[in-house]
């Protein structure tokens, strides 16, 4: 299973809006397997297709300690969200090294399809609820740093661009050898 390249903020492709999945075929299963390998390798607890430049409504999550309980959500919809909110320190594979508090509904009910196209419902709280909402934002083209103040966001953007330049420099050095 090849590892996929995860887009890094502020790559504008992270702001594309994902389209619903229509075909529940072999291609979809391979994409899910490749995304899972990529997420576990990173390592992370969630990955949206948007982050690997596939703009379809697909996300995967594994919040288990053993990282052996993959959950796949296709065309997910939040059908209910609690009034109660939770402040959680979030991070994102597209914004490596950055963690900050985001407030969201503490509990959600989600309707989605599995990889076979079968509908299911999940009622989530805690980390799973946060993760589902964070990944669903990606499908809408939204990265969690957009919840932070413009000042913080600009600092993060500059830091990411600086790291990107440094990485490019390192790569060209390796290439020159």
Query: Residues interacting with Ni ion, by CB under 5 A?
Result: 92
Which C-beta is closer to Ni ion: that of 24 or that of 96?
96
Which C-beta is closer to Ni ion: that of 26 or that of 89?
89
- The distance of closest approach from Cβ of residue 138 to Ni ion in the complex, given in angstroms and rounded to an integer, is 6
For the four alpha carbons of 21, 23, 26 and 27, in that order, the dihedral sign comes to negative
Task: Give me the residue whose beta carbon is nearest to Ni ion.
Answer: 92
- The distance of closest approach from Cβ of residue 9 to Ni ion in the complex, given in angstroms and rounded to an integer, is 9
Whether the CB-CB separation of 115 and 32 falls below 8 Å is answered with: yes
Which tokens is 157 given?
């953007």
Which C-beta is closer to Ni ion: that of 92 or that of 156?
92
Which C-beta is closer to Ni ion: that of 93 or that of 113?
93
The answer to whether 56 is a known catalytic residue is no
For the four alpha carbons of 41, 106, 77 and 99, in that order, the dihedral sign comes to negative
Pairwise CA distance, residues 177 & 165, whole Å? 19
Q: 90, 135, 146, 164: which is the annotated catalytic residue?
A: 135
- The distance of closest approach from Cβ of residue 92 to Ni ion in the complex, given in angstroms and rounded to an integer, is 3
Pairwise CA distance, residues 55 & 46, whole Å? 16
Whether the CB-CB separation of 138 and 51 falls below 8 Å is answered with: yes
- The distance of closest approach from Cβ of residue 171 to Ni ion in the complex, given in angstroms and rounded to an integer, is 24
Residues annotated as catalytic (active site), given as ranges: 135
């Amino acid at each position: 299973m090849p590892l996929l390249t995860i887009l890094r903020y502020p790559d504008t492709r992270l702001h594309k809006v994902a389209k619903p999945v229509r075909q529940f075929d072999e291609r979809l299963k391979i994409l899910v397997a490749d995304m899972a390998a990529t997420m576990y390798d990173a390592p992370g607890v969630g990955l949206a297709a948007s982050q690997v430049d596939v703009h379809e409504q697909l996300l995967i999550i594994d919040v288990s300690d053993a990282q052996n309980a993959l959950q796949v959500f296709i065309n997910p919809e939040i059908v209910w969200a609690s009034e109660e909110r939770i402040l959680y320190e979030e991070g994102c594979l597209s914004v490596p090294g950055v963690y900050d508090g985001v407030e969201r509904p503490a509990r959600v009910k989600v309707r989605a399809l599995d990889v076979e196209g079968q509908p299911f419902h999940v009622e989530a709280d805690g980390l799973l609820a946060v993760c589902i909402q964070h990944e669903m934002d990606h499908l809408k083209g939204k990265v969690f740093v957009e919840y932070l103040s413009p000042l913080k966001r600009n600092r993060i953007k500059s830091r990411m661009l600086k790291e990107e330049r440094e990485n490019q420099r390192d790569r060209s050095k390796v290439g020159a050898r």
